[in-house]
Each structure stands twice: as structure tokens, then as C-alpha cells.
Amino acid sequence: MRYRLIIICLSCFLSSCQPTNVETRLDEGSWSSYLGDDARSHYSSLSQINQTNVKNLSIAWQYASGNASADNHSQIQCSPIVVNDILYGTNPVLHLFAIDAATGQEIWKFVPDDPDSGTGVNRGVIYWNDRQDGRIIYTSGKYIYAVDALSGNLEISFGEKGRIDLRKGLGRETEKQSAIANTPGVVYENILIQGTRVSEGPGASPGHVRAYDLFSGEMLWIFHTIPEPGEYGYDTWPASAHEYIGGANSWSGMALDHETGIVYVPTGSASYDFYGGNRKGQNLFANSLLALNAKTGARIWHYQFVHHDLWDRDLPAPPNLVTITKNGQEVKAVAQVTKSGHVFVFDRKTGEPIFPIEETPYPASDLVGEEAWATQPLPTHIPPFARQHFTEDLVSDLFSDGQAHIQDFVKDTKHRNLSLLDQWKSLKSGTFIPPSTQGNILFPGFDGGAEWGGAGFDPETGWLYVNANEMPWMFRAQKIEEISGSGLIKVGQAMFEQQCARCHGSDLKGQDVIPALTDLKNRLTFKEIEKTIKNGKGSMMALPQLSDSAIKAICAYLLEDETVGISLDLIENEDPNLLPYTLNSFGRFLDKKGYPAIKPPWGTLSAINLNSGTIAWQIPLGEFSVLSAQGIAITGTENYGGPVITKGGLIFIGATKDQKFRVFDKVNGLLLYETTLPAGGYATPITYQRKGKQYVVIACGGGKMGTPSGDYYVAFALPSRN
């Protein structure tokens, strides 16, 4: 076995194997909730597939869900559910489908009647028992839909003829809002509690958490994540911030304790992500874990993980509701993994930390008008599951001619084509170093550490399993007035940098599933670009908050054409969202061969004993076969999508750039099975039982990290006995 194991105190595992109080779980063999249950455990009590026979896994069926893009810009991130022997999921353009869970045969498909449907991604759906046929609740574009679980028809009694517009009810002009939902919310009794994804540039919509009646679609309550006058946390923002600041949204999912009626809601950063001169203060409830009364939305407690975030340190995944043993006593707790590679653990009812957390001082910002928060909290007992410091000795030396891949990150000609080491030396590096005009390295990068796949929890042992990225990213702040050029094109570039560059890149070359915008003047018309900016497309959010003049300015920049018929004075004076700084450069820090600029591992899978607060083992996750053939030890790869843990002693996971599906021994991390998928499995798998047979299913949508797109759902099972 080529994997390097880090085994810490295996006896801790053996001593903690006594059964604990297991959270309320699914019926044996089912998988009727997102990530297995509302505790978000990723756990199944099935054991038909186990350590002794997993080597015999084979494909049981394969379902082509349709609509994969030929240009490899589509993906599937959906972790499906199985209810009454029917599997429900979504395809690359977010059409909802129902298939037979034993054969993969399609039963029905629902196609939303909305020209903007399919915007964003979908990570799962909800089943709700309406005392009739059942309803599937899911999101596509700006709408939440209710669909009859047996027929696939819209439930027209819900909302406005079967759907709810997520832009409504935010307290701002509806047509100027952009809100979708990546991840399913939770259901408490007949109440749907739902978060949203909003844009991350200036002028974004607020990320308030809302609850709806599942019979009627009526909004029942709203929790203002950017507090209004008289509400707790209002004094942590400028007085009028609730009128213009956006973000602080819950895009990554929630967990629900049905026994206490508490919903646990993680939130992301406030917008604009990288400059907060217009939102001075601590900024509650951005970057926080909220414990809310599920019936009323009242705050019970909160914890903020990053104060006045300048690094896009959203909470990337749902929390895990766990029961652990501390000082001989069972403790009902909630664990939250972070992009920085940490695990925070709190008492579920009070919010008191189970393991110590310390506020540590960090440097001030040197950007004009910015006031970075003086301290940030970090756990001091549970070790981080990703490296924290990209020091000089960690600069990659895999290749003797190592050279930085992003050659135009440093705009000065004399600084181009730097070696990895010289590029590293030219940038600021360290934890919570504020953005600068010099340029920064963020490590772990903007996609974690932990990412949206989240962590899985084994209730029998108290172990948490989490996959992580160890990819450094580079970014640089630039004053608007220092952008080269003049006139309308310069203003358009400034707006593009603030609204669009984090995805499409300052160099317009795109990344992952985000298309390049180079040479648009020979590919698209002004009207086509204008429509995309206004309405969104694919994974791109709509930007309706921008004025017509601002959109025209962006079009002028992209088309290199000043003749769009607007006054430069008008655009400079009317747009309140143009901040003094923009994100001039943004991207992964790679060598010229495309590998991370840091020494491996580049992706890991870790087992963390939450009873003792120790890392039990850690292994690289993913492999570059080209490097392995050269005798380089397995490096791990970037990875997206989480694990599934079973009583059969196994961890099932896709996630990796090498497009493999793997099964590990949950006790020691040994690889027991691997196979190549038809496209990358960048989604969390599920497992369930039908007619006495255990299945494991994963969506294979590819697209991320430059890999081919697909439309498959693949089911694995053991061979049938004759």
C-alpha cells in the first residue's frame, strides 16, 4: 500500500467503540434526507458491504440524466435521496428526476417552466410527507419548487402556482435582488427553513434566513443576518448597513435537532468579500453559526468564526450534530468544520465551546479606509486537519525548473516568469493577513480546507471524517484609480473586477467550469452579454443590482468598445456599489505544469476523534498517475464532495480530480477499493437498501478542476448470489 498513514493512538479508537446515544436516524436501509439525516451525519447503519467483501463491488446500474455540456462547463453536485424505493436527484441543468432505486429506470422528469432555471448548482432535494403522495422540495434558479413525489407534477397550492420566488421578502426591491439556493434547507414539522446563495460583489442581496409553510408557501419568519435597528448585533455594523450591505447568507446547508427544535445555521461572509471599508465593525451575523428556534426564528445563541471577514472565509458546510464522550459524560454537541481546516465543537443547547478557543491578535490593514478586526478565534486543542502556514521550506521542489504558472499575476514586466520561490517571496503570506496591494497568499485557499462536501460522523465511535484541500491561492487588491486605461472602458473594468473577476479571472481566462471571456467581441453581441449579466447563466448569479449604465460599462470593457451610448459622468456618479479597491488578481498558486506550488499533500482525508480531540489518522486523497509513474509518492488532489460512513466499517468517497471512486477502512484509512468513474464524482455519495441489497450511488457530473463533464448517476453493489 502506497498511502502514508499517520496513526495516532489507535487505542483511543478501541476504547471509544462503546455505543453512544445515536441521533434520530433513518429507518434501516433508507436515505430519505440530505446527507443521510437532519443531523447531517453522512452515516448509514448498513453493513452488507463491509471490509471483507468491498473488493467485489461492481456497477449495478447507470443512469444518464441528460444535458451535460459539450464544452465541459456543466457539473452535478447533487447528493440524491431515496424514499419508498424511488431515488430523486437533479441533472446538470437542474431538471428534477425520479428513478427506480434498484434499476435506475426513469419514472418521471420535471423541467421548470422558467427561462432562468438551471442557474447555479443543486446539492440535494427534500422529501416532505404532505399526507398524500409526498412532495419533493427543490430549487432551480430563483425559485423553490414543490413537486408531487409520485407524478412529478407541480403542487400548485404551494406558493405562486407551485413555487416561491427567493428574491421576495428580503426587505428590498424584489427586481433588484439576486438569490438562489445551492443546498436544501431543513423541515421542522410543516416548516421549511431555507438559506440562499447571493452574489459576492458590492450591492449583493442580503442573506437573511427564512421559513415557509410547506402547505401554502407563506413566509412564516425571517432572521436578519444583517440586523436591523433594535435587533441584536445591529451595533456591529454601520448604522445604515442593513440597507445596502449584502451576503452573510447561509448557502452551505443546515442541521436540525428535532428533539429540541433548534436549527443550526452556518453563514458566509458579507459582501464585498475582500474590502470592508463600507461595513466597519465586527459584522454579526456574517461567518457565524446560528442556533435558532425552528418555529419562530428567534436567536438562541451564536458564535462568530471570523470577525469582519476579508478572506471569503464562509462556513463551507452544514454542521454535524454529534454525541461525544467528554470526561466520562455523554455530551450532545454541534461540530463545525471550516475553510481554514479547523473543527469547532460547541454544546448544542448553550453554545459553550467543548474544546478551548482563543482570540489571537493579527495585523492591521494597509488599505485606505479598511479597518481589519484586531483578533480572530482559533481552536487550541483539536489540531487543524490542514496545514496552516505556507512557509518558504514548503515551496514545491518537485521540478527543477519550477516556475509560477500565473505569469501575469505581477503586472510589471520585470516580475513576470518568476520562479515559484521568487513568486512566494513577492507576496504576503500568513494567517489572517489582510488583503494588500502587494499581493497575498491565502492558505488553505478560498476553497478550503473543508469545502461544501463537509464532514461525516460515526455515532458509534465519536469519530469525524473530513476531506480537505491544501491548495494555496493568490490575490491582490488594487486601487480603482490605478487601473490602466481611460474613459468608459476603465470604469467598466473596475466594475468587472469587483463583480466578476473572482470567477472569470482578471485575465478573463476563467477557471474550472467558469468559461473564459477572452475575445468576446468576436463571439458575442452586446445584447447577449447584457442579458447574461442581468439574468445569470449556468453557475453565474444574476446581477440585477447593477444599473443599466453599469452593465453597459462592463460590456464596453469586455467588447473593447466605448460606443455604447452612455455618459461617463453618469456611470461614475450614479453607482453606489463602486468601492475604492478591487480584486485585481485571483487564482490558484500553481507551477507552470499546473501542479500546486506547495509541497504535497494537496488533498487529504482525516479521521478526528471528537471524544479526545485528536487526529486519529490522515492520508493523501487522490493521485496524479503521471507523478506516481515518476516515483513520486501519492500527493493527493483537490477534492469536492464529502464522504459517507457506514456500520460496515467503510468510508465511501469520490471527490478527487483523478475521477476515482474509493472505499477506505474507517478504522485505519487503508484503501480497500477504487475504480474510475465515467466523469468526476464531485458530489457526496449515498447508500441505501432495496429488496435486501445494499447500493451506493454517486453523481458523476465532472466539470470541476478542468475535468470532462458528465450526466451520470452510478450505482455500485455486490454481485447477486445465484
Integer Cα distance of 448 and 342 in angstroms: 10
Report the candidate in 197, 447, 149, 217 with the shortest Cα–Cα distance to residue 313.
447
Is residue 233 one of the residues assigned to a domain?
Answer: no
Integer Cα distance of 625 and 18 in angstroms: 40
**Domain of 492: which CATH number?**
1.10.760.10
Residue numbers of the domain that contains 562: 476-588
For residue 186, what are the β-bridge partners? Answer: 193
Q: Which of 31-45, 463-477, 546-560 has the lowest mean pLDDT?
A: 546-560
- Examine the domain organization and report whether 539 and 630 are in the same domain: no
pLDDT band at 277 (very low <50, low <70, confident <90, very high): very high
Q: Which of 50-59, 129-138, 578-587 has the lowest mean pLDDT?
A: 578-587
Mean local confidence (pLDDT), 289-318: 98
Give tens-digit pLDDT for 176-194: 999 999 999 999 999 999 9
- Examine the domain organization and report whether 649 and 720 are in the same domain: yes
- Examine the domain organization and report whether 56 and 73 are in the same domain: yes
Is residue 599 one of the residues assigned to a domain?
Answer: no
pLDDT band at 24 (very low <50, low <70, confident <90, very high): very low
Which amino acid would we find at residue 34? Answer: Y
Is residue 156 one of the residues assigned to a domain?
Answer: no
- Examine the domain organization and report whether 481 and 467 are in the same domain: no
- Examine the domain organization and report whether 637 and 703 are in the same domain: yes
pLDDT band at 428 (very low <50, low <70, confident <90, very high): very high
Integer Cα distance of 149 and 496 in angstroms: 42
Give me 378's grid cell: 482559533
Query: Above 60 in pLDDT, residue 409?
Result: no
Integer Cα distance of 606 and 455 in angstroms: 10
Are 664 and 655 a contacting pair, CB within 8 Å? no
What residue has cell string 419533493? 136
Is residue 262 one of the residues assigned to a domain?
Answer: no
CA distances in angstroms from 425 to 203, 382, 409, 589, listed in the order given: 35, 31, 13, 13
H/E element, 628? helix 625-629
pLDDT at 15: 35
Q: Which of 72-76, 126-130, 532-536, 566-570 has the lowest mean pLDDT?
A: 566-570
Chosen domain end from 588, 616, 643: 588
pLDDT at 571: 52
Are 202 and 577 a contacting pair, CB within 8 Å? yes
- Examine the domain organization and report whether 50 and 24 are in the same domain: yes
Is residue 500 one of the residues assigned to a domain?
Answer: yes
Integer Cα distance of 458 and 330 in angstroms: 15
Integer Cα distance of 604 and 618 in angstroms: 7
Integer Cα distance of 334 and 263 in angstroms: 11
pLDDT at 4: 37
Give me 589's grid cell: 498558486
Chain centre distance of CA 367: 28
Integer Cα distance of 510 and 501 in angstroms: 9
- Examine the domain organization and report whether 491 and 517 are in the same domain: yes
- Examine the domain organization and report whether 609 and 709 are in the same domain: yes
Give tens-digit pLDDT for 594-608: 999 999 999 999 999
Mean local confidence (pLDDT), 519-543: 86
Helices vs. strands in the chain: H and E counts, helices first: 9, 42
- Examine the domain organization and report whether 466 and 484 are in the same domain: no
Chain centre distance of CA 406: 24
pLDDT at 549: 81
Query: Above 50 in pLDDT, residue 466?
Result: yes
pLDDT at 78: 98
CA distances in angstroms from 28 to 45, 373, 440, listed in the order given: 7, 48, 50
Give tens-digit pLDDT for 574-600: 455 578 898 877 889 999 999 999 999
- Examine the domain organization and report whether 654 and 717 are in the same domain: yes
Query: Above 80 in pLDDT, residue 331?
Result: yes
Mean local confidence (pLDDT), 351-366: 98
Number of folded domains that form the chain: 3
Give tens-digit pLDDT for 395-407: 999 986 666 665 4
pLDDT at 377: 98
Query: Above 90 in pLDDT, residue 408?
Result: no
**Domain of 16: which CATH number?**
2.40.128.630
Is residue 614 one of the residues assigned to a domain?
Answer: yes
Report the candidate in 239, 309, 320, 317 with the shortest Cα–Cα distance to residue 274.
309
- Examine the domain organization and report whether 549 and 663 are in the same domain: no
- Examine the domain organization and report whether 415 and 519 are in the same domain: no
Give me 180's grid cell: 438562489
Is residue 583 one of the residues assigned to a domain?
Answer: yes
pLDDT at 93: 97
pLDDT band at 23 (very low <50, low <70, confident <90, very high): very low
Give me 559's grid cell: 467588447
Which amino acid would we find at residue 3? Answer: Y
Q: What is the pTM of this model?
A: 0.93
Is residue 99 one of the residues assigned to a domain?
Answer: no
Chosen domain end from 539, 554, 588: 588
pLDDT band at 687 (very low <50, low <70, confident <90, very high): very high
Q: What is the mean pLDDT of the chain?
A: 91
3-state helix/strand/coil string of 254-276: CEEECCCCEEEEECCCEECCCCC
For residue 206, what are the β-bridge partners? Answer: 247
Integer Cα distance of 139 and 184 in angstroms: 8
Query: Above 60 in pLDDT, residue 10?
Result: no
Chosen domain end from 553, 588, 623: 588
